[in-house]
Amino acid sequence: MQLLVNIDVNDLASAISFYCGAFDLTVGRHFGADGVELLGASSAIYLLVKAEGSTPSASTSQKRTYERHWCPVHLDFVVPDIDAALQRAISAGATLEQPIQTSKWGKLALLADPFGHGFCLVQFLGKGYDEIAQG
């Protein structure tokens, strides 16, 4: 099975600038004026232009917003140096929502991109999640 990551944005040029600047991704294919593929992560990331206020599906009346919003699914970017990655993400336009916290398994910082999507930076320490895995 292949995993594709799609991120709705309302400004493609700004989104390309943010994601390439924050995570050193590169532009792959373009899909007309409303989509682009970003490469360099373990899965391709597709930025898709969706107008603010549009409806995500026919089964919901909820409208898209690009203010900070909550979603139970988010991206974690695993990085070798969380301090450097955090500075790079902030410089590219991310907002730090929770400073770096250190746990037995690693370090974690909570952020939001300029389009309101939450994401985390993760730096594994020791054996990573195996430090706390059971069974």
Q: What is the per-residue pLDDT across 20-49, written as a single tens digit (0 to 9) for each?
A: 999 999 999 999 999 999 999 999 999 999
pLDDT on residue 71: 87
Going by C-beta distance under 8 Å and a sequence separation of 6 or more, which residues neighbour residue 5? 41, 43, 44, 45, 46, 75
Name the pTM for this structure.
Answer: 0.91
Query: Does the pLDDT at position 113 exceed 90?
Result: yes
What are the sequence ranges of the domains in the chain? 5-56+63-131
Q: How far apart are CA 88 and CA 121, in angstroms?
A: 11
Topology, domain 5-56+63-131: 2,3-Dihydroxybiphenyl 1,2-Dioxygenase; domain 1 (3.10.180)
